[in-house]
Amino acid sequence: MVKFRYIAFFIAAIIFSGCGSDNAGNEELLKATPEAASFNTENNRFGLEMFKQLNHRKNSQRNIVVSPVSAAMACGMTYNGTEGQTRRELADMLGWNDFSEREINQYHQRLIHYYNNQTGAITLNIANSIWHNSALEVYPEFLRKNSEYFSVFQSSFENKNFAREINQWARRETNGHIDKILENSSPEDLLYIINATYFRGDWKHEFNASKTTDSYFYLEDGTQKRTQMMWQKADLNYYRNGSFQMVELPYENESFCMYILLPDSNMSLNRLISNMDFETWERHKSQLSRKRNINFGMPRFRCEYSVGMKELMESMGVNNLFETGSADLSGISDKRLSISEVMHKSAIEVDEKGTEATAATSLAKSFTTLVDDNPFNLVVNRPFVFAIEEKQSNSLLFMGKISNP
């Protein structure tokens, strides 16, 4: 039995950038059909479940950041080489049963084209690649399909420069923010499937750096930690119920935004996340219908996250892919192949100017213009959930929680 290592790197970092794009033609591609909207919905549904499952694992107090879009795209490249039960399990996990392989590839290609053509203060680059060992005879049809939508490279994994080649590719595709995703390679590894995503966005309402204060963040175990708290006063879309507060922080052209969900004292962060599914998430967003004038404070934060996804995917119903002798990757080669691991690495950084995110692995809303002129204080000084969304495609780019900034 020959095994290959499937590595999808998703690295998110939020620092400072914005959005000023003229991408109307590409926006229509994302919303042209009900099928396209349904596909983005399924990707978000998968991403939310992925986030929930990771949060329920050991060390649940750890900060988390994931990239649903990047994870789905990496799975899509693998999907092109699957058959039988292996394909059915992946389709069930991702919600792709009603889509043809060609539709899946085309939808992802449209997203990549739209994201990679942002202008102004938003930079969003998504790159996908397949690297196969020259010792493995890969079916030309598999290479053709993936070459049409992604990038395919061939190399000898015995070459001592191979890891450097992959790292140089990732560095180039993420503006230098991913320096190393592969330490070394083994001749026994036959295939690497890699996704690299980079996001940089400026806030529409920048936090005033001169007003950043040394403050306390209250951890769930009752202890407190000193942190740098950023402040702004702005008219923001806001919603509150009996369990949490939710606010929308727009990036410069408002096509991209970050959502912050802050649990009330009667709601633990883990309970809030466990109650969250796609329908709940969409309902919460739809209730952000009233602008409020807010003195808003949140901590600077940086989060790095790395996890093996095999156990997670098995818990979501994908088992055959990893089973020696059972995995059906016959669309790739006539050799008996199986997946050894799926890696997810991510990072995010937020400061006064905005967000920078790198990852290697449309709900049309009509907001009211009503603004409450009486400002109130909203201070994110305890564990919270965040998400970055692109509104035209209704795509969750990144989602996570900060337990300890």
Q: How far apart are CA 343 and CA 355, in angstroms?
A: 24
Residue 111 confidence (pLDDT) above 70: yes
DSSP state of 161: T
Secondary structure class of 13 (helix, strand, coil): coil
Q: Given CA atoms 23, 29, 34, 38 in this order, what sign does their dihedral have?
A: negative
13 pLDDT band (50/70/90 cuts)?
Answer: very low
Least confident of 175-179, 205-209, 221-225, 375-379: 175-179
DSSP state of 398: E
DSSP 26-48: HHHHHHSSHHHHHHHHHHHHHHH
Residue spans of beta strands (DSSP E) within 107-255: 122-133, 151-155, 191-202, 213-218, 224-240, 244-250
Q: Give the percent of the chain with pLDDT over 70.
A: 82
Average pLDDT over residues 15-22: 32
Q: Note whether 276 and 401 are within 8 A (CB).
A: no
Q: Note whether 298 and 378 are within 8 A (CB).
A: no
Q: Across-strand partners of 235?
A: 293
Least confident of 151-155, 207-211, 250-254: 151-155
357 pLDDT band (50/70/90 cuts)?
Answer: very low
> Can you list the domains of the chain with their CATH numbers?
24-202+302-348 (3.30.497.10), 209-299+368-402 (2.30.39.10)
pLDDT of residue 120: 64
Residue 155 confidence (pLDDT) above 80: no
Q: Residue 296 CA to chain centroid, in angstroms?
A: 25
pLDDT of residue 6: 38
Encode pLDDT of 296-332 as tens digits. Answer: 999 988 887 877 788 888 999 999 988 878 889 899 8
Highest mean pLDDT among 43-52, 296-305, 343-352: 43-52
Least confident of 74-83, 126-135, 283-292, 309-318: 126-135
Q: Which helix (H) or strand (E) holds 123?
A: strand 122-133
11 pLDDT band (50/70/90 cuts)?
Answer: very low
pLDDT of residue 93: 96
Q: How far apart are CA 72 and CA 43, in angstroms?
A: 6
Secondary structure class of 58 (helix, strand, coil): coil
Encode pLDDT of 274-291 as tens digits. Answer: 999 999 999 999 999 778
The mean pLDDT value of the chain amounts to: 79
Taking residue 382's Cβ as centre, other Cβ atoms within 10 Å add up to 18
Q: Show the DSSP H helices in 209-363 as ranges.
A: 269-274, 278-286, 310-315
Average pLDDT over residues 17-35: 50
Q: Note whether 286 and 367 are within 8 A (CB).
A: no
Residue 246 confidence (pLDDT) above 90: yes
Q: Which residues contact 69 (CB under 8 A, 6 or more apart)?
A: 43, 47, 111, 126, 197, 395, 396, 397
pTM greater than the 0.75 cutoff: yes
